[in-house]
Amino acid sequence: MSTFQAPKGTYDLTPPRSATFLAVREAISAPLRDSGYGYIETPGFENVELFARGVGESTDIVTKEMYTLTTKGGDQLALRPEGTASVLRAALEANLHKAGNLPVKLWYSGSYYRYERPQAGRYRHFSQVGAEAIGTEDPALDAELIILADQAYRALGLRQFRILLNSLGDKECRPVYREALQTFLRDLDLDEETRRRIEINPLRVLDDKRADVQKQLTDAPKLRDYLCDACKAYHEEVRALITAAGVVFEDDEKLVRGLDYYTRTTFEFVHDGLGSQSAVGGGGRYDGLSEMIGGPELPSVGWALGVDRTVLALEAEGVELDLPATTSVYAVPLGEEARRVLFGVVTELRRAGIAADFAFGGRGLKGAMKSANRSGARYTLVAGERDLAEGAVQLKDMESGEQSAVPLAEVPAELAKRLG
């Protein structure tokens, strides 16, 4: 065992479990790639001010959870706590919005960092796959992203998740609701920190999970009663489009999520098998974020789905993914000449696109065959001096146990035929 361990609240991904995480990333990104979303990658750290402006100075993410550092040159940086602000910053810097083909549709995958109290489903280092559609205000885009996330989860075999949906209004109607909500909240019995939040972003109080706070919010004014006609029509169009696509959702008038930049459509994917950390992903529209970070007006929408929480959801439902074999063929040489010849065969198989491995270290037949079993290989190639003298190798089917001699020159073609 090493002297060092992974930092508190983080985890290592090691085989074989890491294969599930790769499969989840692939399943989430596949419908995005098929729908015109291009891949983008951003640095693991950004200027602190990007997140303070974009995510919101009143959010727990900025006030409590960001990992910050000062460089030797005096720059204030933060490990990225979420992906949207970074992706939008990168799109603006690259002038993707000026290419004349809006919306700019992007997807990404990576690690994110928040200093939180570690528990099952909540880590200080976590992985997400996200998608952003930048530069267009269209309810069909909001619907498209919700439908694609639903498609990804169902492709994985998940069934026990729910989609929560709400509208947060826009710059025209939300200020009126904000004032009404502040007036209501100021009369409640709340702690000083929550009272400060009332003045900065009162909607965040609605997201407070404490029972004593929620009890006092029973008669809070409802945002739906303050939506302007344009926001009502927009929201109804989103609802109609995802309903027509056969996607089931629940209206949740208290859903605000934890980031300040959301406007109009907001949604969350929850799984009731995960306990208190039930959200597996979510997102919404953020029409004013570009201006917040110094860019032009670019109405946008996006989401991020947690890879680790999706894996936990799969485990909660007992879903086992059909993972591709990492090794199809395992070569076992008996003797130095066989070692040289079979190593060449393995190299040739790999070039032909066949997953092949080799018994390294000069182990005997018994030990090498144990390794072949552990690798999950469907076939083994075994060769000794007598086999090579006859110009053949022994090809064994690890499922049926059948073994036959195959001419050395015909091994790649024979395996290609058997593996399809």
- pLDDT by 10s per residue, the chain, length 420: 678 999 999 999 999 899 999 999 999 999 999 999 999 999 999 999 998 887 776 566 777 789 999 999 999 999 999 999 999 999 999 999 998 889 999 999 999 999 988 887 788 999 999 999 999 999 999 999 999 999 999 999 999 999 999 999 998 888 898 899 899 999 888 888 888 888 887 887 887 878 898 899 888 888 889 999 999 999 999 999 999 999 999 999 888 776 667 889 999 999 988 877 789 999 999 998 999 999 999 999 999 999 999 999 999 999 999 888 789 999 999 999 999 999 999 999 999 999 999 999 888 899 999 999 998 899 999 999 999 999 999 999 999 999 999 999 999 999 999 998
Counts of helices then strands in the chain (DSSP H, E): 16, 16
Please tell me the distance from the alpha carbon of residue 21 to that of residue 26, in angstroms, as a whole number: 9
d(CA 379, CA 263): 56
How far apart (Å, rounded) are the C-alpha atoms in residues 231 and 235? 6
Residue among 50, 49, 137, 127 nearest 92 (CA) = 50
From CA 260, how far away is CA 95, in angstroms rounded?
25
How distant is the alpha carbon of residue 82 from its chain centre?
11
Residues 110 and 83 sit within 8 Å (Cβ to Cβ): yes
Residue type, 254: K
**Polymer length of the chain:** 420
Bond prior to 103 in cis (omega within 30° of 0):
yes
Q: 107 and 40 in contact (C-beta within 8 Å)? A: yes
Tokens of 55: 């995510």
Beta-strand relationship, 263-271 and 279-285: antiparallel
- Tell me how far apart the alpha carbons of residues 189 and 242 are, in angstroms, rounded to a whole number: 40
The angle at the Cα of 307, spanning 302 to 308, to the nearest 5 degrees, equals 140
Tokens of 24: 């989840």
3-state helix, strand, coil in the chain (%, to 5): 40, 20, 35
Q: Which residues contact 100 (CB under 8 A, 6 or more apart)?
A: none
- For residue 43, whether the previous peptide bond is cis, meaning omega lies within 30 degrees of 0, is no
Rounded CA-CA distance 283/262 in Å is 8
Give me the sheet containing 392-397, strands edge to edge: 356-358, 329-333, 379-383, 392-397, 403-407
Joined tokens for residue 90 = 């990168």
- Of residues 77, 78, 81, the one with CA closest to residue 59: 81
The two three-digit tokens of residue 382, written as one number: 């075994």
Question: All domains of the chain, ordered by start, with CATH?
Answer: 17-173+227-317 (3.30.930.10), 329-419 (3.40.50.800)
d(CA 370, CA 394): 17
CA angle at 382 for the pair 379 and 387, rounded to the nearest 5° = 135
Looking at residue 324, its pLDDT comes to 81
6 SS3 class: coil
Cβ atoms 181, 289 nearer than 8 A? no
Residue 233 is predicted with a pLDDT of 97
Position 100 scores a pLDDT of 80
Instruction: Say how many C-beta atoms besides its own lie within 10 A of residue 325's C-beta.
Output: 13
Residue 333 neighbours by CB distance under 10 Å: 27
- Cα angle: 297, vertex 133, 150; to 5 degrees: 145
Could you tell me the CA-to-CA distances from 10 to 110, 117, 164, 308, 310 in Å, in that order? 14, 11, 28, 11, 17
The candidate with the shortest Cα–Cα distance to 8, out of 110, 122, 109, 112, is 122
